[in-house]
Amino acid sequence: MTETTNKPTIVIIISGRGSNMVSILDAINVGELAVTVAAVISNRADAAGIQLAQQANIPTTVIDHEAFASRELFDQAMLKEIDKYSPHLVVLAGFMRILTKEFVDHFAGKLINIHPSLLPKFKGLNTHQRAIDAGEKEHGASVHIVTPELDDGTVVLQAHVAVLKNDTVEALAARVLEQEHKLYPAAIKKLIEEPKE
Ligand code: GRF
């Protein structure tokens, strides 16, 4: 029996730089998280995270959404690719596409996302700017179960970050991202160790 045989598997889905993906790989490497990353899938060939995954010897696949005539067809191709690995969790880490209900329902309960706000506050984009504009004293990030409604679904874990006087979007985003990198591995660990019945 190999070391990885009995570990739960995850598939990570990205669109960009992949820093949250790297934080998950780092947590695995230092023994904080006992999962196997079966694959990293990106909808963009130029996602920096794809190269980082390859450097870490993780199987990678690019499924270019622009090659499909519709969102439904793209999601069906993604679904088929992910199903090859029968993962315990499908981990969206900076995946910048809206998913169809068909896709979300197929992975119901095992599809998770990280969002840079204290949900249910600030669903959608530009969360840091909106938190500053709203005069929030606290901001942060959430890992949540994905449901067909955007940035909805049960929150698994949140990280809180103070909004400082005269904060800039860049500074606040950097402090939130630092917390995201601890939050996502912790949330995956929680879900793996306390599976929902
Ligand atoms: C993160 O801010 C995450 O909260 C959001 O997209 C960003 C992804 O960053 N969903 P990275 O690709 O993991 O570096």
For ligand 1, whether the C-beta of 185 sits within 6 Å is no
pLDDT in tens, 83-127: 999 999 999 999 999 999 999 999 999 999 999 999 999 999 999
Residue 18 in contact with ligand 1 by CB distance below 6 A: yes
Instruction: List the single range of 5-9, 103-107, 173-177 with lowest mean pLDDT.
Output: 5-9
User: For the packed helices 48-55 and 19-29, what is the interaxial angle rounded to 10 degrees?
Assistant: 20
- Give the pLDDT band (50/70/90) at residue 5: low
**pLDDT score for 34:** 97
Q: Ligand 1: does its nearest atom lie under 6 Å from the Cβ of 151?
A: no
**Omega before 120 within 30 of 0, i.e. cis:** yes
pLDDT value of position 194: 83
Overall average pLDDT of the 139-154 stretch: 97
Residues contacting residue 131 through CB under 8 Å, at least 6 positions apart? 117, 121, 122, 139, 163, 172
Average pLDDT rounded to a whole number, residues 139-149: 97
How buried is residue 131: exposed, middle or buried, by Cβ count under 10 Å (0-12/13-18/19+)? buried
Probe target for ligand 1 pocket from 14, 17, 19, 20, with the most ligand atoms within 8 Å of CB: 20
With a 6 A CB cut-off, is 78 part of the ligand 1 pocket?
A: no
- 124-143, pLDDT tens digit by residue? 999 999 999 999 999 999 99
180 lines ligand 1 (CB under 6 A): yes
In this structure, what DSSP letter does residue 92 have?
E
Is residue 1 predicted with pLDDT exceeding 80? no
Specify the range with the lowest mean pLDDT, choosing from 4-18, 26-40, 90-104. 4-18
16 C-alpha vs ligand 1 centroid, how far in Å?
Answer: 8
Pocket test for ligand 1, best of 91, 157, 177 (most atoms within 8 A of CB): 177
Tell me the C-alpha distance between 129 and 48, whole Å.
Answer: 25
DSSP per position, 124-175: SS-HHHHHHHTT-SEEEEEEEE--SSTT-S-EEEEEEEEPPTT--HHHHHHH
Q: By C-alpha distance, which of 122, 115, 192 is closest to 158? A: 115
- Mean pLDDT, rounded, for 45-64: 98
pLDDT at 6: 83
Tell me what the pLDDT averaged over the chain comes to.
96
